């Protein structure tokens, strides 16, 4: 099964109460790819500048991530600088330099067009739609977005959503998109606009999934310390789509499992800066933590 | 099995985006008692003024709630006035009139001293300790508190905790009590101070339970609208202690089930003002929603 991701590749400088990382490998497409690569090969479409370190490329290639859609443009790579305080749910952006990402127009290589699992990371909704239209026979198109596009490109985003099967956003974004403070009502509204599944990320409070006929609440893994939440959402999406790409039937049961795999991958990602923890992660660690999620949320039925 | 609760009985005036209630029946001991009474008879210790409406007393008596420990004092009943905005997690107190509750010194009737399940609702920690010491052979003492006592009576609260089996507080209170922003570390600290179980209420994000050897994450029921969150925490505690009072073995499995029963009762309570929804609730409704909680959090294991 082939997984395609289109999104940012970045050099991140991050400060948290536990330390800092300088110009570390980051970006939505990178976090997504690395997590998804535990399940199936990944095809990455993005752009880097001529200053992008080779070692990062080697790291990704070593994970069976196909970089033939990674354009190298003249100029500097996208850079993001942020700080997290003790409330690690909220990122404070200190500086954003879009650089070569500013004029990013994703070109899907011919060899990528048969991708079955497509993740449209957070980019301009019009570009997301163009990508969705270039894929010949997708099984699942999933999509992320952010408040910037909800506020600044609302109509385009609504157009893009018509092509999306699974929307993966955070709770504030879901409420803002639906213009509705009640999450249950917001979900019902969004499900009328295209996606058949809405996955709502709630940081340390876990994940909610809504479909027309089902609601699922997944816990977050109770970590003692979150060292760096950067990339948690895209790592979640990578684990989620990665697992989905391995199942025969995409249905309520396998989507629930995929959410727990996504949560599992994200819980590892936040244990270190950048991809620090991910680099040493093994499939057995993932399966062990999946089992811990099962214990974490388990309770026995009662006789009615 | 006998359940004892000591706490406030109040007349609440509440405004929410959905409407308002004026001088409606409220107070921690009332919400707790009503919820617990679905499982076993309850004994209530509290104080009311000479203005307390008889109809409220009749309502409670009709639920097998023993009011022989409910003192009637000269003066006005405790009154609380509050408002909730769209963020229903946060109460804005507009007015508090302690009245007869200001000098409340709980007297446990002789006939209540053999109570096996004791809930110390949120009152002065010294008074909570006195109650705990007057009960002859408790199986479980559970306790609530609030930021006011954590800040103003910290040492007394720590003394009280030595006698407490299960501490039931919200997440901000847990972090403040332990003086620790990480919830996992805060829990570990609090479990050294007396309680063998910490139950952390997180409003719309559900409940976390910590013991020395186990963590449990229970979802909240995804309601379309929360009409009035007043009393949700005490209703949770009532359902929790009520169910525990029915089981043979109090262990990890039954405490998890008790948390889901507490969450179930609380999810009904917030569907209307005061005890509006609770008055029409039947045991079958509770069992049906318990089963919905099971579906809500269910996912299948994977083969390792």
A141-165 pLDDT, tens digit each: 999 999 999 999 999 999 999 999 9
User: A–B: how many Cβ contacts below 8 A?
Assistant: 102
Calculate ∠ Cα B167-B172-B176, nearest 5°: 80
With the C-alpha atoms ordered B298, B292, B249, B193, is the resulting torsion angle positive or negative?
A: positive
CB contact under 8 A, A302 and B216: no
Q: Is B184's CB within 8 Å of A224's CB?
A: yes
Angle formed by the axes of helices B183-190 and B171-178, nearest 10° = 70
* Closest residue on chain A to B185 (Cα): A224
Phi/psi region, residue A155 (left: phi>0; alpha: psi -120 to 50; beta: rest), is alpha
Residue A303: per-residue pLDDT: 75
Binary contact (A291, B297; C-beta < 8 A): no
Spatial strand order in the sheet of B65-72: B65-72, B42-48, B3-6, B117-120, B140-143, B166-170, B197-201, B207-210, B215-218
Nearest-CB residue to A260 (from B253, B257, B299): B299
Q: Are B108 and B45 in contact (CB under 8 A)?
A: yes
Q: Is B193 on the interface with A (CB under 8 A)?
A: no
Question: How much is the ipTM here?
Answer: 0.94
Better-scored residue on pLDDT, B87 or A71: A71
Least CB–CB distance from A86: residue in B181, B206, B218: B181
- pLDDT bucket at A245, cuts 50 / 70 / 90: very high
Res A60 pLDDT > 80: yes
Strands of the sheet with B10-16, listed across from one edge = B19-26, B10-16, B79-84, B91-97
The partner residue sitting opposite A290, judged by closest CB among B183, B185, B302, is: B302
> What was the pLDDT predicted at A304?
59
Distance CA A289, CA A37 (A): 17
Tokens of A145: 């977005």
Which residues, 6+ apart, have CB-to-CB distance to B113 below 8 Å?
B134, B135, B136
Do B59 and B279 contact (CB within 8 A), yes or no?
yes
Enter the tokens of residue A40: 């199936």
Digit-coded pLDDT (tens) for B24-72: 999 999 999 999 999 999 999 999 999 999 999 999 999 999 999 999 9
Express each pLDDT in B180-222 by its tens digit.
999 999 999 999 999 999 999 999 999 999 999 999 999 999 9
A217 to chain B: closest CA residue = B297
To the nearest whole Å, the CA of B86 is away from the closest chain A CA by 7
Whether the per-residue pLDDT at B1 is higher than 80: the answer is no
Q: Give the C-alpha distances (Å, rounded to integers) separating B106 from A201, B46, B52, B102.
A: 45, 7, 18, 12
Which B residues 146-185 touch A at CB under 8 Å? 181-185
Largest CA distance in chain A: 67
Global pTM reads 0.96
Q: Exposed, middle or buried, B123 (CB in 10 Å: 0-12/13-18/19+)?
A: buried
pLDDT confidence band for B304 (50 / 70 / 90): low
Is the pLDDT at A168 greater than 80, yes or no? Answer: yes
B208 part of contact set with chain A, CB < 8 Å: yes
pLDDT tens, position by position, A68-88:
999 999 999 999 999 998 777
What number of helices (H) and strands (E) belong to chain B?
A: 10, 13
- CA-CA-CA-CA dihedral for B162, B165, B166, B172, to nearest 10: 10
Beta carbons of A291 and B301 less than 8 Å apart: yes
DSSP β-bridge partners for residue B193: none
Average pLDDT over every residue of B262-290: 97
Q: Is B280 on the interface with A (CB under 8 A)?
A: no
At B90 the pLDDT is 81
pLDDT the model gives residue B249: 95
Closest in B182, B220, B225 to A224, CB measured: B182
Mean pLDDT score across all residues of chain B: 96
Domains, chain B, in order of start with CATH, read 3-297 (3.40.1190.20)
Query: Within the 238-267 window of chain B, which residues sit less than 8 Å (CB to CB) from chain A?
Result: 253, 256-257, 259-260
Quick one: pLDDT at residue A34? 98
**How far apart are alpha carbons A238 and A175 in whole angstroms?**
23
For residue A246, the 8-state DSSP code is T
According to the model, what pLDDT value does residue B86 have? Answer: 78
Candidates B299, B300, B303, B304: best to mutate against A (most CBs of A within 10 A) is B299
Distance from CA of A290 to the nearest CA of B (A): 8
Give me the residue from A225, A257, A288 closest to B299, CB to CB: A257
Distance of CA B78 to the CA centre of its chain: 18
Query: A13 pLDDT exceeds 90?
Result: yes
């Amino acid at each position: 099964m082939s997984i395609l991701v289109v999104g940012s590749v970045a050099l991140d400088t991050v400060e948290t109460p536990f330390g800092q990382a300088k110009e570390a490998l980051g970006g939505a497409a990178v976090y997504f790819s690395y997590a998804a690569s535990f399940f199936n090969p990944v095809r990455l479409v993005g752009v880097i500048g001529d200053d992008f370190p080779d070692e990062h490329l080697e790291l990704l290639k070593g994970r069976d991530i196909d970089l033939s859609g990674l354009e190298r443009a003249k100029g500097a790579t996208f850079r993001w600088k942020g700080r997290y305080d003790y409330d690690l749910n909220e990122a404070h952006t200190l500086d954003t330099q879009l650089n070569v990402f500013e004029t990013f127009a994703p070109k899907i290589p011919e060899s990528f067009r048969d991708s079955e699992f497509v993740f449209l990371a957070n980019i301009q909704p019009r570009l997301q739609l163009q990508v969705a239209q270039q894929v010949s026979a997708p099984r699942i198109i999933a999509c992320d977005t952010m408040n910037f596009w909800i506020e600044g490109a609302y109509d385009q985003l609504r157009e893009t959503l018509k092509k999306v099967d699974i929307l993966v956003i955070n709770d504030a974004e879901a409420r803002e998109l639906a213009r509705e403070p009640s999450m249950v009502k917001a979900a019902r509204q969004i499900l009328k606009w295209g996606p058949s599944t809405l996955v709502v990320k709630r940081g340390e409070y876990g994940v909610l999934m809504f479909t027309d006929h089902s609601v699922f609440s997944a816990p977050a893994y109770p970590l003692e310390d979150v060292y760096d939440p950067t990339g948690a959402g895209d790592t979640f999406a990578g684990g989620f789509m990665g697992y989905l790409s391995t199942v025969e039937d995409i249905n309520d049961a396998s989507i629930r499992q995929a959410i727990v795999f996504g949560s599992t991958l994200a819980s590892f990602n936040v244990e270190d800066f950048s991809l620090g923890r991910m680099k040493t992660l093994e499939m057995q660690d993932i399966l062990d933590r999946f089992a811990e999620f099962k214990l974490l949320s388990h309770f026995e039925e009662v006789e009615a």
